[in-house]
Structure 1
């Protein structure tokens, strides 16, 4: 996964996709990017603000997975 800080990194928000596209039935999250299917589908039309919010949630999910 790329390292993007939605609170500090300026400019366009990159996609978190790393081309490992497998949905985990236990969590409902993509194994590669930790997004929900709804977040993945909406990404292309999402505002920069929404994309930053998704990145914030990805960071939260990643942290929770390692706690």
Structure 2
């Protein structure tokens, strides 16, 4: 008997504003990623979440534990 995997939830935090690169300042997804989210499978959603995490790190929104920001 196989179990059905639950959908990976959206990273939306209801702070919907695009920056100058058309990336949402709330969830860090691109416009294309936002509009395609409902049609993505879980593997693609996980890949997008990884990209969002990297974007948040590179923009300074999140810091890695043990790493201090460059001042």
Q: TM-score range with shorter-chain normalisation?
A: 0.7 to 0.9
Higher-strand-fraction structure: 1
2:42 aligned with 1:48: yes
The match for 2:13 among 9, 18, 38 is: 18
SS at match of 1:56: helix
Higher-helix-fraction structure: 1
Structure with max Cα Rg: 2
Pairwise CA RMSD: 1.7
Deviations 1:37-64 (A, max 9, x none): 0000000010000000000001110110
SS at match of 2:12: coil
Aligned length in residues: 57
2:23 aligned with 1:36: no
Q: Which runs of 4+ in 1 moved over 6 A?
A: none
